Chains A and B, each alone.
Chain A
Amino acid sequence: MPRFIAQRVAYSLVTLFLLSMTIFVIVRLTGDPALLMAEPGARPEDLARIRAQWGLDRPWPVQYVSFIRNVVRGELGRSFNYRLPVSELYFQRLGNSLQLALAATLISVCIGVPAGIVSAVRVNSWWDNLGKAVALLGLSIPGFWLGLVLILVFAVWLRWLPTSGAGDWRHLILPAVSLGWYFAASLLRLTRSSMLEVLGSEYIKLARLKGLPEAVVIGLHAFKNALIPVFTLTGVNLVIMVNAAVVIEVIFAWPGIGRLLFEGIFQRDFPLVQGVVLMAGFMIVLVNLVVDILYALIDPRIRLTR
């Protein structure tokens, strides 16, 4: 087991290292940030001074090494645009992103899990076909498109909900639905297939042979087993949604991490983009690592073969 964990941790570090290099290079391909930081019509000497001030005149490998050295020390650098530490900006916005992701998760779990169970228990029924249609729509309609439609219907025409921004719970509904939509559909499909697999198992047959009420068979014997992969997906998706809700946050002007990243890209704010992407990568790698280790702990078969 310790070897298994060490191996997983090593893989995770390699992943993060590759991610840091990739984002370092890509962000530098977007152009010269000095042009955006300087006054319009600035002279070449001014631009050179700004580059020197932020260390952008050094060769890329040197810049990369200093970036990584900072990261190892737990510093993500200072934003060009805000003139503040990236970590401070990140944690300021984290709460908003978390709020949105939690709301989206709640909505999608409340829709996806019960619908998936009903689809599995009444397989090939009218309900199941409805579920399949919803899942197909969910997986094929992009969240940003749904977001625009929702804004149009509920904010512009009906005027029930605000178009954008943060505030009370009413601001949360439309972005959370748009963000959770895709996930509700994938949860529905996973719950359905996981439940179907469990319902076809011998231990469910034995539970029925015992003469247990159907509610106990489904609600306890099947549900408990079917839920393991569903919980895992939910946890992983929550982390992903916190970090990767860029498009939805931009559409709804939601002041979260995604919007921060978007602004950073527009401003060629290298430290900000690098920091946010690396934090997202770190959290996603971490949650996958935790899931791998938990599975290994739960399932002795995984533990023994590694």
Chain B
Amino acid sequence: MAPLLHVSDLRTYFFTFGGTRVVKAVDGVSFTLEAGETLGLVGESGCGKTTTCLSLVGLLPPAARIVGGSIRFAGEELTGKSPRELRRLRGRRIAMILQDPMASLNPLLTIARQVGEPAHFHLRLRGRPLRERVLGLLRAVRIPSPEVRCREYPHQMSGGMRQRIVGAIALAAEPQLIIADEPTTNLDVTIQAQYLNLLKEIQQQTGVALIFVTHNLGIVAKMCDKVAVMYAGKIVEQSPVRELFNAPQHPYTRALLGAMPKLGRREPLYAIPGQPPNLADPPSGCAFHPRCPEVIPRCVSESPEEVVAGNGHTARCWLVQPDVEVSRGRPSA
């Protein structure tokens, strides 16, 4: 069976200063996602994670455009669909949770209205069935006394509650895929853990697939089946989650893992030296070479192709040896 989502060679560029400057925010991204699966998308900020997600739902900022590649979702090609068709898809089959729970809810509309909207517009629910649905959703995300809360406004809720309400909105029309763009970055740690548990639980109940964007590898280990590591608009390494932690191939992945806090470790955290590149003027060759501890002359001149390093494991680095058996036995799709 075809995967739920198959993105191949996606390119989304920003055209700024009247089109004189091109920022390749997403530059040849490919990945697949099966129904019910969770993909973690990690990388430092500015590497193109949000732009990748917005490309999937067809809601890019005015300066950005998908210039190449394909997005196949449940057998349908999404690139080139009309804004109207994309709108019908959004919130109905692909939902998205934004970064800032405090700012994501409309301050002047009731919770009931905001949670009910996707079911109202996509599923055509009205009156009592709509109300039942809203209450059910609020219960599903553990809002206490939903009958009272649904008549309230966002400012009457705590940050954690608001983010759960945003979760309820995402679930409202029973989508097949939820994209969560750093949904817990602005929550404090205990609330963050509760929220992640809730998402996981809901995923088990509904079988929804999840793309989880984060720069926290700890969350990836907890939440995801597989991971894609992004750097400067490209996926530099992609693998099942366990394998990425056990046998990271790309020096950037190793640097990210090295920068992760570990329990009981005394020595100071290793921070990745240097800054992520400016995508308007990226380095030659491999974009990571100016910061790479293992750089070789070839990295400066040539950009490495994707190499199969194991089962479902690929990396873009000149130092990675192809896993001949896997490459030959299962040609990458």
Residues of B251-298 at the interface with A, using a CB-CB cut-off of 8 Å, are none
Stretch at the interface among B24-32, B103-111, B189-197, B233-241: B103-111
Measured in the bound complex, the distance between the Cα atoms of B156 and A300 in whole Å is: 10
A213 contact set on B, CB distance < 8 A = 87, 121
Q: Is the CB of B108 within 8 A of A202?
A: no
A220 contact set on B, CB distance < 8 A = 109
Closest to A204 in B: B106
Residues of B47-95 at the interface with A, using a CB-CB cut-off of 8 Å, are 57, 59, 87-92, 95
Q: Is the CB of B90 within 8 A of A202?
A: no
Given contacts A225-B107, A300-B155, contact A206 B122 (CB under 8 A): no
A214 contact set on B, CB distance < 8 A = 87
Closest to B166 in A: A206
Residues of A200-258 at the interface with B, using a CB-CB cut-off of 8 Å, are 201-203, 205-214, 216, 220-221, 224-225
Report how many A-B pairs have Cβ atoms within 8 Å: 65
Least CB distance from B51 to A in Å reads 14
Measured in the bound complex, the distance between the Cα atoms of B91 and A206 in whole Å is: 9
Q: Is the CB of B98 within 8 A of A205?
A: yes
B91 contact set on A, CB distance < 8 A = 209-212
Least CB distance from A146 to B in Å reads 36
Measured in the bound complex, the distance between the Cα atoms of B57 and A211 in whole Å is: 10
Q: Is the CB of A208 within 8 A of B117?
A: no
Q: Is the CB of A206 within 8 A of B121?
A: no
Closest to A224 in B: B108
- Chain B: residues with Cβ within 8 Å of the partner, total of 28
Given contacts A202-B98, A202-B100, contact A210 B121 (CB under 8 A): yes
Q: Is the CB of A206 within 8 A of B118?
A: no
Q: Is the CB of B104 within 8 A of A211?
A: no
Residues of B110-128 at the interface with A, using a CB-CB cut-off of 8 Å, are 117-118, 121-122
Given contacts A202-B100, A206-B105, A225-B108, contact A212 B117 (CB under 8 A): yes
A244-278 interface code vs B (CB 8 A; 1 in, 0 out): 00000000000000000000000000000000000
Interface residues on A, range: 10 to 19
Closest to A198 in B: B106
CB < 8 Å neighbour of A211 from B87, B103, B108, B109: B87
A201 contact set on B, CB distance < 8 A = 103
Q: Is the CB of A225 within 8 A of B106?
A: yes
Q: Is the CB of A203 within 8 A of B121?
A: no
Q: Which of A203, A209, A300 has the most CB of B within 10 A?
A: A209
Measured in the bound complex, the distance between the Cα atoms of B91 and A207 in whole Å is: 9
In the complex, whether B137 has a CB less than 8 A from a CB of chain A is: no
Given contacts A202-B103, A300-B155, contact A208 B90 (CB under 8 A): yes
A203 contact set on B, CB distance < 8 A = 103-107
A224 contact set on B, CB distance < 8 A = 106, 108-109
In the complex, whether B169 has a CB less than 8 A from a CB of chain A is: yes
Given contacts A202-B98, A202-B100, contact A211 B92 (CB under 8 A): yes
Measured in the bound complex, the distance between the Cα atoms of B169 and A203 in whole Å is: 12
CB < 8 Å neighbour of B117 from A202, A205, A210: A210
Given contacts A210-B118, A213-B121, contact A221 B96 (CB under 8 A): no
B96 contact set on A, CB distance < 8 A = 209
Measured in the bound complex, the distance between the Cα atoms of B12 and A289 in whole Å is: 51
Measured in the bound complex, the distance between the Cα atoms of B88 and A178 in whole Å is: 47
Q: Which of B89, B90, B108, B118 has the most CB of A within 10 A?
A: B108
Measured in the bound complex, the distance between the Cα atoms of B155 and A208 in whole Å is: 21
B166 contact set on A, CB distance < 8 A = 206
B155 contact set on A, CB distance < 8 A = 300
Q: Which of B59, B91, B92 has the most CB of A within 10 A?
A: B91
Closest to A221 in B: B106
Least CB distance from A199 to B in Å reads 11
B105 contact set on A, CB distance < 8 A = 203, 206
Q: Is the CB of B90 within 8 A of A209?
A: yes
Q: Is the CB of B169 within 8 A of A212?
A: no
- Residues of B that sit less than 8 Å from A by CB: 57, 59, 87-92, 95-96, 98-100, 103-109, 117-118, 121-122, 155, 166, 169, 172
Besides the known contacts A202-B103, A203-B104, 18 further A-B residue pairs in the complex with CB atoms under 8 A apart: A202-B99, A203-B106, A206-B166, A207-B117, A208-B59, A209-B90, A209-B91, A209-B95, A209-B98, A210-B118, A211-B89, A211-B92, A211-B118, A212-B91, A212-B121, A213-B121, A224-B108, A225-B106
23 A–B pairs (Cβ distance < 8 Å), ordered by A: A202-B100, A202-B104, A203-B103, A203-B104, A203-B107, A205-B98, A205-B104, A206-B98, A206-B105, A206-B169, A208-B59, A209-B91, A209-B95, A209-B96, A209-B98, A210-B91, A210-B95, A210-B117, A210-B172, A211-B121, A213-B121, A224-B106, A225-B106
